[in-house]
Structure formats: C-alpha cells, structure tokens
Chain A
Amino acid sequence: MPNLKDLKNRIESVKSTRKITKAMQMVAAAKLRRAQEAAEDSRPYAERFNAVMAQLAASVGKSDSAPKLLAGTGSDQVQLLVVLTAERGLCGGFNGNIARLAKNHALKLKGEGKTVKILTVGKKGRDVLKRDFADDFIGHVDLSNVKRLGYTDAQKIAQDILSRFDAGEFDVATLFFSKFVNVVSQVPTAQQIIPAEFEEDENADSASTVYDYEPGEEEILADLLPRGVATQIFSALLENGAGEQGARMSAMDNATRNAGEMIDKLTIEYNRSRQAVITNELIEIISGAEAL
C-alpha cells in the first residue's frame, strides 16, 4: 500500500494539472470564437473569388494558351506538399492527423516513383515530417510570432510557392490542412492548388451570363491565378486556426475531466489507507491493553 504522504502529493499535483488544463480550455474557447469569426469573415471573399475563377477557367481553360498555373506543366513528376499545421501542441490529434495524411500521401507518391518535396508551415508538422522525410524538405515558414493572422501572411507563403513554381521546381502543389467542421470535428484535407482545380458549378444559371472582360479574359486570369493561390492558403490557414483552437478546447476539456476522475479515485484510496492506518493503530493499542 502506497504511503499516505505520497498519495497526498499525487492528489495535489493532479489538482494543479487540472487547474492548468481548465485554464487552457477557457483560453482556447475565447480564441476559438475569434478564429471562427475570422474564418467566417473570409468566406464571402473566397466563395465569390472561386465562382469567378471557375467561370473564367471554364472559358479559357481549354485553350492551349492557358496559363501554366491553370493548365499545369504537362507533367506530375515533382510534387510539392504544403503542410499547414499549428505552431503549438496540446490539441489532441489535430497536428497528428494532418501530418499523417501528408505522410501517407507522400509515401503513395514515392511508391509511384514520383519526386516529393515538402514545405511546412507550423512547427508541429515540421517536427513530425522531418523524422521520415528530412531529405525532401525545401522550406519551412514560421508563423509562431504572428499574433493575428493576416492576408499578407498568406501572400508571403503564396509568393514563395509561386516563385518556386516559376523556377520549375515542381509540377503539382497540394495543400494539407484541417477543415473546421465544428468544435469537436476537424477533417484533415488535401487540396490541390497548382494547377488550380475548381468545383463544377452546379447551378448553370450563373454560367449562362455572358461577361465582358476588361482587360481581356486571359489577362484577368493571369492576374487572378496567383491571387487564387494566396486566397486558398489564407482560407486554409484560417480554417486551421479555428480547428486548432477547437481541437485544443475539446482535448483540454477531456483532460480536465480525466483529472477530476483521477482526483476522485486517489481521494478514495487516500481515505481508505488513512482509515487502515487508524484501524491498525487501534488494534495495536487494544491488543497491547489486552496483553497486560
């Protein structure tokens, strides 16, 4: 039987752990609200943008002169994986899930004999992927000093990716991030950003509108495609931000609950052992008295 002092220390330490996880949960809840708002604020832009792009892509995309960002380089030999994760841990399986998806994807591509290059955003993804693919790393973007994520942050990442694309460093780029569904569920997602892919517009009404383009269609498309990359990265970053806080909140909620259960169990054990000690002492006194 563990002695009383040890048990007491344990209970104290679990209690302070519970305090910490509780505080983290509340901080995450507050941050989540902000992150969610930011993600929602960015949605109208992204939706409109994609609608216009899809339309333009449909009318220009088939021609031979379509920009490379849309039509691709004609090969898919060199694949760039852009892995967006959080800068901090303690958020359940959030980072692990994204990293695992990226890892599986990388292994599959390697199995097909393709060259894989990896660019990470966020420390946690880098740490995990570095173990298996240290040779394939081409860069890392550190956002740990960024307090409030802005569009300019996404633009910087996009510029980095685009200049590598222009230099012919890769053919296909895929973005890995977590889609924020709700607080308890984030879905790790892979999204191809170069060459750009668009969902087919379901309602054909908008497609039937014939637009004038000023300047020409192709100039607009050439202007918009790089922006599209930045926009996609920006919304992925925001989704990730909200997802991270959501995941941390539920992870910390679980931790707080587990700590509570543990405290209850330890307290019962503590009371039992204390009672056992008292009983023991009584028996000793009584048997001592009887022996006289």
Chain B
Amino acid sequence: MADTMQFDLVSPERRLASFQAREVLIPGADGDMTAMPGHSPVIATLRPGVLRVDGPEGTSEYIVTGGFAEINAEGLSVLAEQAIPMTEVTREHIDELIEDARAKHEEAKSTFKNEPGPVDDAAKLLSDMVALGDHIAIGKGGGPAPA
C-alpha cells in the first residue's frame, strides 16, 4: 500500500494546496475523521473546523468554514467554502466568522419561530465557530475567545 496519497484543497476562489499527503484530519459534520492512503471512498460534509494535513513539508493546518470532502482511490479532495491557511489566520478573521454565524443565528430565530430545525443548525454553526476561535486562541497562546 502506498504511504502517500494525492491531497487537493480547493476553495471557489483558488487552489490552496495540492501535494502528496500521508494523512489528513478532516472536520466532518458528524465528527472528525482521519483519512489515510487506501481509505474507502467517502463523501462527507464538513463543519467549520481545522483541517490538519501531514504532508512532505511537515504538518500544515487550514481553517475551513464548511464544504465537503471526497475520498477515493486516487486521493482526497477537499472542497471548502472558505479556507485559510493557519499561518494567515488572525483573531479578526475568526471574530468576523463568529459575528457572521451569530447574525445568522439571530436571523434564523426570528424567521423560523416555530421550526427548531434551521435555528438549531445556526446555533450549531455558531458553536462550531466559537469552538474554532477557542482552538486557535489556545494554539497561538492567547486567551479564550470572548463569549
């Protein structure tokens, strides 16, 4: 079995990465999973989170805000709605994302008063974003995100 696989990370605006990777940690909607060469074919949606890739030049991390991942015999492609390399991420970025999610949550609450579905979805998005913010704050040695 090959010990690397083709890894592509694309967002609608650009191709962020394309190289041979040993393993990739994907923030799946139903839970994190790690893809390694020879993984069975899967299509999974993503939740906002951190994508960690173990590539030829060490481990690199990207923030993704949603999208999906396709794993097949040739490799893994991640189609992210928005993806930012961890090295370029700033606190402002995250705050903006959290703010967006919060606005969506409020909007969902006011538009779908009697349907819990969309409100819950928005709430989950918000909590994912906040968790993401905390994760980064810890990773960079800063304090936790303001609630």
**Contact residues of A with B, CB < 8 Å?**
38, 41-42, 44-46, 48-49, 52, 56, 150-151, 154, 206, 209-215, 219-220, 223-224, 227, 230-231, 234
Note all chain A residues with C-beta closer than 8 A to B72. 206, 209, 211
Shortest CB-to-CB span from A162 to chain B, Å, is: 13
Q: Interface SS of chain A: helix, strand, loop or mixed?
A: helix
21 pairs across A/B with beta carbons < 8 Å? A41-B14, A42-B13, A44-B10, A45-B15, A48-B79, A52-B68, A52-B70, A150-B13, A209-B41, A209-B72, A212-B42, A214-B28, A214-B29, A214-B30, A214-B33, A220-B43, A220-B45, A220-B68, A224-B68, A227-B67, A230-B12
How far, in whole Å, are A151 and B82 apart by their CA atoms in the complex? 9
Q: Which of A48, A214, A223, A224 has the most CB of B within 10 A?
A: A214
In the bound assembly, the distance between CA atoms of A183 and B11 in angstroms comes to 26
Count of CB-CB pairs between chains A and B under 8 Å: 76
Considering only CB atoms, which chain B residue lies closest to A215 in the complex? B30
Question: Within 8 Å of chain A (Cβ to Cβ): is B81?
Answer: yes
B123: A residues at CB distance < 8 A: none
- Whether B10 contacts A38 by the Cβ 8 Å rule is no
Bound complex: CA A234 to CA B81 (Å):
12
Contacts of B28 in A (CB 8 A): 214
CA distance A171 to B15 in the complex (A): 34
A45 touches B79 (CB 8 A): yes
* Contact code string B56-75 (vs A, CB < 8 Å = 1, else 0): 00000000000110101100
Min C-beta distance of B63 to chain A, whole Å: 15
Q: Looking across the interface, which residue of chain A has its beta carbon closest to that of B69?
A: A214
Q: Is the interface of B mostly helix, strand, loop or mixed?
A: strand
Interface residue from A154, A206, A223 paired with B45 (Cβ < 8 Å):
A223
In this assembly, does B20 line the interface, its C-beta being within 8 Å of a C-beta of chain A?
Answer: no
Expressed in whole angstroms, the Cα–Cα distance for A127 and B43 within the complex equals: 44
CB–CB A48/B77 < 8 A: yes
* Contacts A52-B68, A151-B82, A227-B81 given; does A211 touch B41 at CB 8 Å: yes
B97 within 8 A of A: no
Contacts of A38 in B (CB 8 A): 13
B40 beta carbon closer than 8 Å to chain A: yes
Name B77's closest neighbour in chain A (CB-CB).
A48
Indicate if B8 sits at the interface (CB-CB under 8 A). yes
Kindly list the 3 A-B residue pairs having the minimum CB-CB distance in the complex, ordered from nearest: A214-B44, A151-B12, A41-B14
Contacts of B14 in A (CB 8 A): 41-42
Q: How far is the CA of A46 from the CA of B13 in the complex (A)?
A: 10
Residues of A within 8 A of B82 (CB): 151
Inter-chain contacts of B40 with A (CB < 8 A):
212
List residues 1-44 of chain B with CB under 8 A from any CB of chain A: 8, 10-15, 28-30, 33, 40-44
